Amino acid sequence: MIKLDQRLILGFDWLWFLVLLALSGAGVIAIWSTTDGTSLNSYFGKQLIYACCGLLVFLAVLYFDYHVFSDFITFIYLAGLVLLGLVLIIGRTIHGNKSWIDIGNVFSLQPSELVKIFVIIALAKYYSELDKEYLGIRELVTGAAITFVPALMVLLEHDLGTTITFFPIWAVLSCLAGIRKKHLIILIAIAIAAAPIAWFLMRGYRQGRIEAVFNPQSAARGLNYQTNQSEIAIGSGRFLGKGFKQGSQGRQGFLPARHTDFVFAVFSEEKGFVGSITILGLFLFLCFRLFRTAREAKDKIGSMIVVGILSVLVFHIAINIGMVEGMLPVIGIPLPFVSAGGSSLVSYFASMGLCMGIRMRRYVN
């Protein structure tokens, strides 16, 4: 732990912090607008509490030098695996996913969101300590084990969406650590060969959701209903939107998961093209700040941690917006900082605290 002296305080990026507040604030407002006066009205108060908890976690993580987390990552990583194991034993099932642990009668924890951060730190530490220009097969397999053992446990929870988000962590950090062209070609070939097997192993409705993207007219109505309603919401918002609490798709309940996975459609309906572009602009700014932080980090592990978090953030944004726009199948991936959900929101604030801490300490010996 390093005392927050004047050098660290001066390194705090207030504009970055304000962007985080703006994104989480936009989510709180959209959730309030679409759930007020309905059976989902409790989500507004919960999201407000989660945002406050996220800010506290952000500041707490910021206080510690990131090397403290990397030095104890073995114990933290194993603790994450234990949590995932507990989910499989005593977890609560919601919409077919057994991903949550109830803490009393107040809060439900989704450990997989936190474990992604643990995996990023563990993989960054492993790769950063290798004194090699290129990764060998042994290093790639070890890195894959670090990443996909918890991913497999998440898959056993029937949470395919979260499972997929582990892949960019390993892929991006492996490329950053140095991967030979021949190994990359082999991995791509394996992925192509495994695609038919994965398709065969999918459940019927998951296959239907993928087919609905490429041929929406022939898809069953129940499989593309969410996407159709989402597209209607986005289109009806036009340039300036219908206004606060004026969106018919969100307010009247035509759009399922309007406070979670499809909250961007609600925001687009009420704030229009201008509001949508503003949200995407804030995400673009955030990604730029993370990219610059990765370049300016004082050591390799700091750079890799930021890149790992950036890869997950970009993946989440791209998949969620793609789902909402009907360009990708619906797989239940929330929009960072905006979608309702305590574990996701607090985890992202924690990851931003970690990255901000790396930026603040870039000139500290």
Do residues 62 and 353 lie in contact, with contact meaning Cβ atoms separated by under 8 Å? Answer: yes
Q: Is residue 203 part of a domain?
A: yes
Chain segment 290-336, per-residue pLDDT in tens: 999 999 999 999 999 999 999 999 999 999 999 998 888 888 899 99
Strand spans (E) along 64-219: 92-94, 97-103, 107-109
| Three-class SS state of 10 | helix
Q: Is residue 317 part of a domain?
A: yes
Q: Is residue 143 part of a domain?
A: yes
How far from the centroid of its chain's Cα atoms is residue 93's Cα?
Answer: 20
Do residues 55 and 349 lie in contact, with contact meaning Cβ atoms separated by under 8 Å? Answer: yes
pTM of the model: 0.92
Domain count, the chain: 1
Q: Is residue 1 part of a domain?
A: no
Chain segment 136-163, per-residue pLDDT in tens: 899 999 999 999 999 999 998 888 889 9
Residue 343's domain comprises: 6-360
Q: Is residue 78 part of a domain?
A: yes
Q: Is residue 144 part of a domain?
A: yes
- pLDDT tens by residue, the chain, 365 residues: 445 556 667 778 999 999 999 999 999 999 999 888 888 888 999 999 999 999 999 999 998 999 999 999 999 999 999 999 999 888 887 777 778 888 766 678 899 999 999 999 999 999 999 988 889 899 999 999 999 999 999 998 888 889 999 999 999 999 999 998 888 898 889 888 877 777 666 666 666 677 666 666 655 556 677 888 888 889 888 888 888 888 888 777 788 888 889 999 999 999 999 999 999 999 999 999 999 999 999 999 999 999 999 999 999 999 999 999 888 888 889 999 999 988 999 999 999 999 999 999 887 66
Do residues 254 and 229 lie in contact, with contact meaning Cβ atoms separated by under 8 Å? Answer: yes
Q: Is residue 231 part of a domain?
A: yes
Q: Is residue 365 part of a domain?
A: no
